[in-house]
């Protein structure tokens, strides 16, 4: 608590906002510091294959196989839609300046947003010391419109970052393209957690996601005098689960 209080005081002295995506026992620490408010990182999940979930409820493997054929066919049919004119593809090679350009164009919409420059994304996702990440892009011609950063955890696939211009149909196509890719690899589900405008929940629902239990989130701004300031509306902050420093 003393260490965390000192970190927050450093932010206050500089007039900065302080945010954290607390893990394990840290929410209890923030609760005792009286800064654990009502903000949450909203979590969503999308089933890709049904056998994994059916086995939890049905003891007969032949029945599971038969039902999963029907369930998987329905999921594939539902995800076959295309609504945008963008091309969805895995991004290979270096993260170029078009990612920095997209960050500059999009981040201005938010009061707080991690600076997603090409250098930062390369350090964060291409040069991680042990985790492997994949990047998928939505491009209109050669122009980068949106991207997603994904990690394959075998038992599920986690979309750690989803970022781009505010075009819901593009985001939906990007997520459905990712779903098709990892369904073909046999993964059972796709998960995503973020703090974004309310309209994002609607587009995720259209892409077949369902909301799950939210994750703790600390948003604590200070004014220039180092005093706690009122928390701005959720739409003014954009955070994703990939913003955790690990």
Domain residue spans of the chain: 40-215+226-243
DSSP symbols for 65-122? HHHHHHHHHHHHHHTT---SSPEEEE--S---HHHHHHHHHHHTTSSEE----HHHHI
Q: What pLDDT sits at residue 234?
A: 45
**Three-state secondary-structure class, residue 229:** coil
Q: What pLDDT sits at residue 224?
A: 56
Which tokens sit at 231? 């928390």
Are 178 and 159 in contact by the 8 Å Cβ rule? The answer is yes
Is the Cα torsion angle 25, 28, 32, 36 positive or negative in sign? positive
In the chain, the DSSP E strands lie at: 18-20, 40-47, 87-90, 112-113, 134-140, 143-152, 157-164, 189-195, 210-216, 218-220, 237-240
Q: What is the β-pairing status of strands 237-240 and 112-113?
A: parallel
Q: What pLDDT sits at residue 227?
A: 54
CA end-to-end distance (rounded Å), the chain: 20
> What whole-number distance in Å separates Cα of residue 80 and Cα of residue 92?
24
Are 149 and 175 in contact by the 8 Å Cβ rule? The answer is no
- The CATH fold assigned to 40-215+226-243 is Aminopeptidase (3.40.630)
Q: What pLDDT sits at residue 27?
A: 86
Q: What pLDDT sits at residue 101?
A: 96
Q: What are the average pLDDT values for consecutive 10-residue runs of the chain, which has 246 residues?
A: 87 80 85 80 92 86 88 84 89 95 92 90 89 94 96 89 92 94 93 86 88 86 57 68 80
């Amino acid at each position: 608590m003393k260490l965390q209080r000192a970190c927050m005081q450093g932010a206050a002295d500089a007039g900065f906002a302080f945010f954290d995506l607390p893990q394990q026992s840290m929410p209890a620490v923030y609760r005792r510091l009286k800064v654990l408010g009502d903000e949450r990182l909203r979590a969503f999940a999308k089933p890709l294959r049904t056998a994994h979930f059916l086995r939890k409820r049905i003891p007969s493997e032949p029945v599971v196989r038969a039902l999963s054929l029907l369930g998987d066919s329905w999921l594939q049919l539902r995800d076959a839609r295309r609504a945008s004119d963008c091309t969805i593809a895995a991004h290979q090679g270096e993260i170029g300046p078009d990612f920095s350009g997209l960050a500059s164009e999009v981040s201005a919409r938010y009061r707080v947003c991690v600076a997603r420059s090409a250098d930062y994304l390369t350090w964060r996702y291409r040069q991680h010391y042990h985790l492997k990440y994949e990047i998928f892009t939505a491009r209109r011609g050669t122009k980068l419109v949106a991207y997603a950063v994904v990690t394959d955890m075998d038992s599920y696939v986690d979309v750690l970052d989803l970022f781009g211009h505010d075009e819901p149909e593009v985001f939906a196509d990007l997520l459905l393209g990712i779903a098709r890719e990892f369904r073909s690899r046999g993964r059972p589900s796709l998960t995503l957690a973020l703090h974004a405008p309310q309209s994002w929940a609607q587009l995720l629902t259209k892409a077949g996601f369902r909301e799950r239990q939210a994750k703790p989130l600390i948003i604590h701004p200070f004014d220039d005098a180092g005093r706690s300031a009122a928390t701005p509306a959720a739409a003014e902050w954009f955070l994703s689960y990939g913003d955790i420093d690990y």
